[in-house]
Chain A
Amino acid sequence: MIKIENLHKSFGDHEVLKGISTDIKEKEVIAVIGPSGSGKSTFLRCINMLEKPTSGIIKINNQVVTEKNINKIRQNVGMVFQHFHLFPHKTVLENLIYAPINVKNVSKVEAVKTAEDLLRKVGLYEKRNEYPNRLSGGQKQRVAIARALAMNPTVMLFDEPTSALDPEMVKEVLEVMKDLAESGMTMIIVTHEMGFAREVADRILFLEDGKLIEDSSPEQFFTTPRTERAKEFLEKVL
């Protein structure tokens, strides 16, 4: 459902992505891992054009992503950020219903109902009338996931969703993501949580210096990595 062909991205003279191609099937859960500076986040941000690719083609649901149709496509591509980026001037519930009402023209009654169901799912129904600043990091990230899901997306992008959390809050967020994976959501997750990647992902993409150098099952990647560079990386992080 997502097809990426020869994706290049440069910031000035610095080439961050050096030609990445891959296909992602429906319901697949992909973990993107690699050393810092390898281009993982840039890769993810190119998929929904938060970074404009220098060259290459991205197709989502058989549609080539362009600057013209990007707003339409983004409605089906949820994104969760490292630093949550909830709207601080809106309550939890308002954070969830704003985009469905204003972008998809969902009625307010329906949007509230969907939002409340999602908040129950992530265990934060009681917090629906709180402002984000009253929530812990883990709670904020669960709200951010619910906000993305409120648009009823077909794919979810996660950009290091647990990297800004205190250690004791990582688990609650990973649990929510695991449930989501089990419910059949297509997910692309940039993460440093190796245990989670191994347990939940169907495929591991290992990026190094802007190139996709391994594309394999978690089992194979974590037991018998093919490249020297992946071996070194795993020795350092495991």
Chain B
Amino acid sequence: MNLNVFDFAAIVPSIPYILAGIGVTLQIVVSATILGLVLGILLAICKIGKFADLRWIAQFYTSVFRGTPLVLQLMIVYFAIPQIFGINIEALPAAILAFGLNSGAYISEIIRAGINAIDKGQMEASQALGIPYAKTMKDIILPQAMKNILPSLMNEFITLNKESAIVTVIGGLDIMRRAYIVGGDTFKYLEPLMFAGLIYYVMTLVLSFLGKRLEVRMSRSD
């Protein structure tokens, strides 16, 4: 093994450029997660609700987004929106939209399972007090479900943080894309790619740590 192949000195000037990708990646992931969470809650409520049409739509939505590759969904959003609506969409909003729509499908399944795991006595106690369905969901059921599913949601967030690297295919200037560009400029791909890997790894560690902290805080009532 020849360790002399590594030449990290050559990419030192490019480090700030690659690091700037963290902001882009986080922007995509955080926005997409918020979109996914809102969508996931709505879909989950459709799935457990009493309207057969809404149940069917939510299930079909989930099966489509879980049954096709994420990179395909991303490219469809990026290339098809201009074709259909005649408006150009930048890489960043396209990524947020595609990842948000996709994680909405996964999150809705997590939330649905979380809601179903809540003792049905909670719903009954709330109904018996005359609390309307929407408020029961918002203030009684969902807060309890959210606490139980927090580890799964955090996991989804971390997965999305890594998978967001495929935004490279539509030219979004995230960590991954920048590492690739630096590779092209310096003719050294190994070093910038390894550096990008290190950034993703550290981000994952930090997110896991924050997730644990949040879990501890939310378990006050245990």
**Residues of the B chain whose Cβ atoms lie less than 8 Å from the Cβ of A6:** none
Q: Is the pair B128, A102 in contact by a Cβ cutoff of 8 Å?
A: no
A residues near B127, Cβ cutoff 8 Å: 50, 74
Other 8 A-B pairs with CB < 8 A, given A74-B129, A89-B143, A103-B129? A85-B119, A88-B221, A90-B221, A98-B131, A99-B129, A102-B135, A131-B221, A148-B128
In the assembled complex, the Cα of A77 lies from the Cα of B127 at a distance in Å of: 11
Separation of A73 and B129 alpha carbons in the complex (Å): 10
Contact residues, B107-159 vs A (CB, 8 A): 119, 121-122, 124-132, 135, 139-140, 143-144, 147
8 shortest interchain CB distances as A-B pairs:
A85-B125, A74-B130, A79-B128, A85-B121, A75-B130, A131-B221, A99-B129, A71-B130
Residues of A within 8 Å of B129, CB to CB, are 74-75, 98-99, 103, 147-148, 151
Residues of A55-84 contacting chain B, CB below 8 A: 71-75, 77-79, 81, 83
Q: How far is the CB of A153 from chain B (nearest CB, A)?
A: 10
A104 to B, closest residue via Cβ: B130
Name the distance in Å between B139's Cβ and chain A's nearest Cβ: 7
Could you tell me the dominant secondary structure of chain B's interface residues? helix
The CA of A48 and the CA of B127, in the complex, are separated in Å by: 9
Q: Which of A192-231 contact B (CB under 8 A)?
A: none
* Chain A 123-148 interface 0/1 with B at a Cβ cutoff of 8 Å (1 = within): 00000000111000000000000011
Smallest distance from the beta carbon of A49 to chain B beta carbons, Å?
Answer: 8
Given that A88-B221, A131-B221 are known contacts, is A71 also in contact with B124, CB under 8 Å in the complex? no
- Any chain A CB within 8 A of the CB of B220? yes
Chain A contacts of B221 at CB under 8 A? Answer: 88-91, 131-133
- Whether A87 sits at the interface, judged by CB under 8 Å, is yes
CB pair A102–B139 under 8 Å, yes or no, is yes
B131 touches A102 (CB 8 A): yes
Footprint of A on B, CB under 8 Å? 119, 121-122, 124-132, 135, 139-140, 143-144, 147, 220-222
A133 and B222 contact, CB distance less than 8 A: yes
Measured between beta carbons, the chain B residues less than 8 angstroms from A131 are 220-222
- B126 contacts which chain A residues (CB < 8 A)? 87
Q: What are 16 A-B pairs with beta-carbon distances under 8 A? A: A50-B128, A71-B132, A73-B130, A74-B128, A78-B128, A81-B125, A81-B128, A85-B121, A85-B125, A89-B144, A89-B221, A99-B130, A102-B139, A133-B222, A148-B128, A148-B129
Q: Which B residues lie within 8 Å of A81 (CB)?
A: 121, 124-125, 128
B125–A103 contact, CB under 8 A? no
Taken together as a complex, chains A and B put the C-alpha atoms of A50 and B121 apart, in Å, by: 11
- In the complex, the answer to whether A87 meets B128 with C-beta atoms within 8 Å is no
CA distance A72 to B131 in the complex (A): 9
Shortest distance in angstroms between A97's beta carbon and chain B's nearest beta carbon?
Answer: 11
Q: How far is B113's CA from A196's CA once the two chains are assembled, in angstroms?
A: 42
By beta carbon, the residue of chain A nearest B119 is A85
Contacts of B121 in A (CB 8 A): 81, 83, 85
Minimal beta-carbon separation of A88 from chain B (angstroms): 6
- In this complex, what residue of B is CB-closest to A48? B128
Q: Tell me the bound Cα distance from A151 to B129 in angstroms.
A: 8
On chain B, the residues within 8 Å of A102 by CB distance are: 131, 135, 139
CB contacts (< 8 Å) of A78 on chain B: these are 128
Report chain B residues within 8 Å CB of A132: 221
- A99 partner residues in chain B, CB cutoff 8 A: 129-131
Residue of A81, A102, A132, A148 with most partner-chain B CB within 10 A: A102
